Structure 1
Amino acid sequence: MASKHPWRRVKLISLVAIPLLVLIALPISALVYADVVVDIWWYQSLDLGFYFWQRLLYSYVVFAVFTALFFLFFYSNFRIAARYMRAKRLGPAKLLLRLRLRRKRKRATPKNALVLTTQSERQRDRLSPLNWLILGLHKLAILVSLLLAIVLAYPLYSQWEETLLFLFAPEAGVVDPVYGQDISFYLFALPLFRDILLEVFFALAVLLVILGLIYYLQHQELKKRGLNIAAGARRHLSMIVALMFAVGITELLFQRYMLLYGDRHTPLFFGPGYTEMTIVLPLIWASMLMLLALGVSSIVYLNSKRGLSAVVVFAVLLTGTLGLRYWEALPETIQDYLVEPDELARQQPYIEHNIAATLDSFALDEVEMRPYRVAIEAEAAEDADPNDIDPAALRNVPVWDREMLIDVYRELQEIRSYYSFLSVNTDRYTIDGRYQQVFLAARELDFEQLPQDSQNWVNRWFRYTHGYGAVMSPAAQVGEEAMEWYLKDLPPRSDHGLTIEEPGIYYGMQDLHDVIAPNALGEISYPGATGVVQDDYRADTAIPIDGWFRRAVFALHYRDYRLFFTTAIEADSQILIRRNVPSTIRQITPFLELDDDPYLVVTPEHLYWILDAYTLSDRYPYAEPVNRNVGAHPDHGMASPIAKEFNYIRNSVKIVVDAYTGEMTYYLADPSDPIARAYQRMYPGLLKEMDQFPEALRAHIRYPQDLFTTQMQVYAKYHQTDPAVFYAQEDRWMFPRIVREDSVETLWPYYVTLNLIDRSRFEHLLLAPLNPKGRDNMRAFAVVSSDAENYGRIIVYSLPTGMLVLGLSQIDALIEQDSTIAEQFTLWGRGGAEIERGKLILILLDEVITYVQPVYLQAAQGVTIPQLKRVIVSQRGKVAMAPSLEEAVAALRERQRRDRARAGAAPGVQERAPQPDSGTEADAAASGEAATTAAEALSGGSRPNAPSGSGPRPG
């Protein structure tokens, strides 16, 4: 039996349910609120509070705009439909009033009264399905429109940044060769337009289904009464169908642009070719015309019930054109019978488009190609004194490998178990008035290396808070001597004038825990002579944690009540969070791709991290992407150390992070990049101009290794700018590979400091030797400068195609076959030492291609500290080994002199210095003229005429 007092039951349930809901909701809300508040405080501590609100509001604004547009679209159509459905001219208010009157009259009639009604009156008293639809459209139109709008706008909300890039993007100033569109259209507009077009098509399809059902029910209702559907309803449906056809035509229009990303002709070239431009493109135009004709005829038929045959004809024609376009046999037939018999002539313009676009998209369009002449050695060079060696040319040769040096740093300079060197960086500094290359590393905190019983809550939050100092050593070292240090020990000290006012490392590459500093317990800085030296954090760039409210927020954020009750927090205490620099940058600016090699810079004030960031895109038309099909077809694809597929890259941003304070500053390094400029407009104040770059750090800017590696992988194929040469692929290059004990080692670009570009001064360069594809001899070597005047200047020195110049793997084989070196290795091996040959690198010494390889020894058991024991030097197929680079060069020259004396002073072949581009490589190889002097060659001076009879002699 039903309760007589239902409201009492509802009240009782409410008294129990509401407090329960509050008890559940409050903790959840507090946790979410705490996380949001901590994010806000953190962005404010980095002076990025405005940027935080920008990103948050931008996303919601884009979502709100698209939701509003879709809502207006649905709601206006529902209102129009409701107006067309008023066939009886009876509005919803009147319908409801009639229903209420009928029910009231029914209740007022006695139950036992005899009511006589006719059949027509009973039908009139009932609300028909049509009337219910009218009522539903008025009552639910807002709710249904809003729900549909949210569902359709959400995919565009997830791409809110792409929408804003389109709004803020500038023109690139480069147009595609086929349609004449600015490249910005492809980078920003085309992807967004296609996404919006898809959402609009879905919206029209949903609306057509809903309105089609409504109008069908109306038609069925009116049909019973002998009436026809309103003409406005037919026009309404016709308009929706017309819009759907317009969307389809627009999609076909965009598909013309998508032809520029076709890969049917890879690995030969990327982009559309003859078949796509002469067969597929006309078929797309024909499909657009057929779709337009089908749309018009369909609308005519819907409104007049005439022209069905035209609809069928155009539908068949549309199906035929689409079928021809996607029929695989058609392009294959065209390729076999029309293109291949004269392929180069037919594909030449498209190959040219591909070459030009790829070189531009990877910033290779201004590469300088110079011939490197190989000629008969000059007598002056042959008679050089073995002891007359320029020390400036040798003090920058990196005889240590970074991978080996890190073990030395860890054994000799970590000093305590809780310190760690993660990696070794290479840079250049002016030491004792000399510009030279160095290796350096940061001594970071590694809390996990503490003894297990020391990894407690107090030590984790208050005591072990930071790393301390850095170490630095010269690139050139002498074997069998103690390691030379420019900066070492704790606290950091230097015999060469290097000082660091604040060497603490609170932010670094290590996954550091969040800490509170300063605090009442004191922070461990470094071990001193009389015990542990404590120091307090003195910056004010972290998040203040004074006050019970902030303590409570952080206690909720970390789910750690001890943060609320601890007495170690003082009035000036701050909490330092998110201290891993790369992950922090990825969280703040997820739209930037970071280089994998952040590097440390030592200044008299602080230690700094410099990180290179890239803007990438896979939408550059006609440009071949990297990392596509590399795994499946390693010989076909172009690889990049950046683990994404892209065909456009710029090193547009350089980021400086103070290792002590965590202050983070972004600088726009490439103003010509439209993507970076769009972000600069979108987030004003985020990207500063390079003229604001700190002066103390400017000398340490370097060209990124990952970028140069990617560029050289691309240039190895696309240096062949002549379509005929490119078609034949007879001069494709690759990075050298050395095979040792069933392992293949690829020699990637590396940093050296040479006077290769400008003879008068040394510059920090990236150098990349290049071999012919599938061969071991050297074909070219490329350099790019990191110094201000020549920063980003790429020069490729091409060797003559008709002359053999030994490559790295061939030199490596000569070293293994040298009897003197093999004998020495055997003696060391008998003593129980492990021999490790380092990386074989190429340098230019006395204008001659020279190979240098370090040799290390380390104990087979116990403490294994690699020791630089010898340095191997090779020129012109001759090899020498000595404890130092200077001695090895002197020994090599002496050996060459003795060999010439034994051979009766017969001339040999020597590689000479790079020359300015004065002709083709074939001319350089066949001209038979002697090489110019190094000063004339490297300074770009003119080449003097060779005296009579001074041409090359057969060697």
Structure 2
Amino acid sequence: SPQGEGEENVYTFYKGRGGVKLGWGFRRLAFMWRFAKLNVILSKYLQPESRVMYRRAVLDRIKALAPFLMFDKDPYIVIGKSGKLWWIVDAFTYSKRYPYSEPYPGPQPKPEAKYAPDWGLKNRFNYIRNSIQAMIDAYNGDVYFFIRDETDPMVQVYKRIFPGMLRPQSEIPDGLIDHGRFPDILTLILSRMYAIYHMRDPQVFYGQEDKWELPLELYYTKEKREMLPYYVTIKLPGEENVEFVNMMPFTPTAGKRNLIAWLVARCDAKYYGRLKAYILPKGKEIDGPEIIEDRIDQDPDMSKQLALWDQGGSSVIRGNVLTIPVEDTLFYVEPIYLQAKDAKRPELKQVVVAAGDRLAWGANFIQALNRIFVGQVVQRERRAEEEQPKLAWKDLVVTAKTSFENYKKLMGEGKIKEAAEALEQLNNALNALLQQAQTSPGGS
């Protein structure tokens, strides 16, 4: 960099329309009273045209404007097509007096659910919908409320009470409609209810014979906790394109830990808010996330290495167990981090990949994937010359690695469309590897 760059202070002036002019006289006295700061009237740096910015915290700002709505506690910031920064916050219409509806029961009172983010929502409502999104101009502070679901009867009521406040979805500015993210807290709420109300037969429902549960995982701590919904970019079974979804798997009750179903909430603008459930055949046993955690702990090499890392002031941090469907096979992926005693952030040490009865880990996803398939395709590679020409497993692994690196790079550059194409190439390489593994001797 040029000599001296970064060594001098750089000053700028706010040119936006946010805030309230300070002015003179009674207005300035009112601000002094409001903020309990004597400098408001004494400081020589404050001029009449100075602007006072308050309620700058995003949630405080929108709650003051719409106290009748419930808001997601996880606002997220995005870049619009113009390059401007926008905050997006999901808002919920809710009621505890909706006819013929059960109050939300919340999580079960058990140790595994003590970290659940919906603890404080028990019995707060019997009706909730993600019908509104708040979008805040991060520079000017302007707040807009847009309707994402016109069929919500409560939205129609609020439109009449506050005319002009709730705007139609067609007016969403700056390409922000493509940045929707279905709130994971609502996915969690819907998952708890769907775990019971997926039963359609009255007798089965009365006996709770087919009730589901949220699976357990070793996330972050050394004790098992309930899984929470997570975001992934995948190609759903039966769909043509890769899309961004919020996902939640299920396991049966009565101590069974196999995977029984999974629910996705779709986030892309075309399908925003639509739910899709994939229910697995009852006669086919597929390991659930908790079983994968146990298999990691029971693997001699992995357990030995984890115990070695978890010494001398360092601690092992287990990431989320991600369930990734590829055609008719489920992959499980779990990152493992190492947090040094004095380090400010954890370091990714290993990535575990499981597919069927195969389990492997490596320094990164591609290396673990390579180890999953290498033992299955070696014999097939020896017969490659006798068969029709096709990519060998090494070429497929290289293709998968290149596609994965391109995906990370393009996502970092904000090129969503190109990143989706790179992810599609990775998916095709995984499918080809899976096909080779299944048709090779010893393949499942």
TM-score by length of 2: 0.77
Q: C-alpha deviations, 1:343-401, integer Å up to 9, x for none? A: xxxxxxxxxxxxxxxxxxxxxxxxxxxxxxxxxxxxxxxxxxxxxxxxxxxxxxxxxxx
Give how far 1:630 is off: 5.2
CA shift digits 1:92-129 (9 cap, x unpaired): xxxxxxxxxxxxxxxxxxxxxxxxxxxxxxxxxxxxxx
Alignment match of 1:619 (pick from 69, 94, 97): 97
> 2:75 touches 2:87 (CA, 8 Å); kept in 1?
yes
Give the structure 1 partner of residue 27 of structure 2: 550
**In the alignment, is residue 664 of structure 1 matched against residue 143 of structure 2?**
yes
Q: Does the 8 A contact of 2:19 with 2:52 survive in 1?
A: yes
Contact 1:814 1:877 in 2 (8 A): no
Partner of 2:52: 575
CA contact (8 A) 1:752 1:767 kept: yes
Tell me the CA shift for residue 644 of structure 1: 4.8
Residue-pair matches, total: 374
Larger gyration radius, structure 1 or structure 2: 1
- Look up the match of 1:822: 303
- Aligned residue for 1:801, secondary structure, equals coil
Aligned position for 1:750: 230
Quick check: 2:217–2:289 contact (8 Å CA) kept in 1? yes
2:358 pairs with 865, 870, 878, which one?
878
**CA–CA separation in structure 2 for the residues paired with 1:866 and 1:567:** 46
Match of residue 702 from structure 1: 181
| Partners of 1:746 and 1:778 in 2: CA distance | 14
Alpha-carbon offset, residue 833 of structure 1:
4.3
Post-superposition offset of 1:896 = 3.9
Larger proportion of strand: 2
Aligned-pair distance for 1:827? 5.1
Q: How does 1:705-716 map to 2 (within 5 A)?
A: 705-716=184-195
Matched with 2:372 is 892
Match of 1:777 in 2: 258
Q: Are the aligned partners of 1:594 and 1:612 in contact in 2 as well (CA < 8 Å)? A: yes
Name the amino acid aligned to 1:592: L
Unaligned runs of 5+ in 2: 382-423, 425-443
Match of 2:396 in 1: none
Residues 590 and 552 (structure 1 numbering): CA distance in 2 closer, same or farther, change over 3 Å?
same
Task: Provide Cα deviations, 1:164-211, integer angstroms capped at 9, x if missing partner.
Answer: xxxxxxxxxxxxxxxxxxxxxxxxxxxxxxxxxxxxxxxxxxxxxxxx
The aligned amino acid for 1:665 is: Y
Distance in 2, Cα, partners of 1:898 & 1:817: 27
% identity of equivalent residues: 33
Whether 2:346 is the aligned partner of 1:869: answer no
Q: Which residue of 1 aligns with 2:6?
A: 529
Aligned counterpart, 1:676: 155
In the other structure, the counterpart of 2:329 is 848
CA–CA distance in structure 1, aligned partners of residues 282 and 205 of structure 2: 16
Structure that is richer in helix per residue: 1
- What is the CA distance between 1:736 and its match in structure 2? 0.2
Matched with 1:813 is: 294
Quote the offset at 1:758 in angstroms.
5.7
Shift of 1:864: 4.1
Cα shift at 1:570: 2.5
Q: 1:549, CA displacement in angstroms?
A: 3.8
Matches of 2:379 and 2:204, distance apart in 1: 41
User: Counterpart amino acid of 2:217?
Assistant: I
Name the residue aligned to 2:71: 594
Contact in 2 for aligned 1:640/1:713 (Cα 8 Å) = no
Can you list the C-alpha shifts for 1:429-485, whole angstroms capped at 9, x where unaligned? xxxxxxxxxxxxxxxxxxxxxxxxxxxxxxxxxxxxxxxxxxxxxxxxxxxxxxxxx
Q: Matches of residues 190-209 of structure 1 in structure 2 within 5 Å?
A: none
Instruction: Summarize the Cα distance change of 1:765–1:877 in structure 2 as closer, same or farther, 3 Å threshold.
Output: same
Equivalent of 2:271 in 775, 783, 790: 790
Query: Is the contact between residue 117 and residue 185 of structure 2 (CA under 8 Å) also seen in structure 1?
Result: no
Q: Deviations over 1:147-175 (max 9, x none)?
A: xxxxxxxxxxxxxxxxxxxxxxxxxxxxx
Distance 1:842 1:724 in 2: 32
Q: 1:899 to 1:879 in 2, by over 3 A?
A: farther
Q: 1:837 to 1:644 in 2, by over 3 A?
A: closer
Code of the residue aligned with 1:852 in structure 2: it is V
- Kept in 2, the 8 Å contact 1:737–1:747? The answer is yes
Alignment root-mean-square deviation, CA: 3.0
- Residues 552 and 858 (structure 1), Cα distance of their counterparts in 2 relative to 1, 3 Å cut: closer
1:826 and 1:624 map into 2 onto residues whose CA distance is 46
Tell me the equivalent position of 2:429.
none
Q: Return the structure number with greater relative CO, CA threshold 8 A, min gap 6.
A: 1
Q: Is the Cα contact below 8 Å between 1:599 and 1:611 reproduced in 2?
A: yes
What amino acid is the match of 1:578? R
- Cα pair 1:546 1:569 within 8 Å, conserved: no
Q: Give the alignment's TM-score, normalised by structure 1.
A: 0.37
- Structure 1: which amino acid aligns with 2:273? G
In the alignment, is the contact (CA less than 8 A) between 2:107 and 2:119 conserved in 1?
A: no
Q: Is the 8 A contact 1:855 1:869 kept in 2?
A: yes
Distance 2:311 2:57 in 1: 46
**Contact 2:218–2:293 under 8 Å retained in 1:** no
Amino acid at match of 1:790: Y
Counterpart contact for 2:199–2:210, Cα < 8 Å: yes
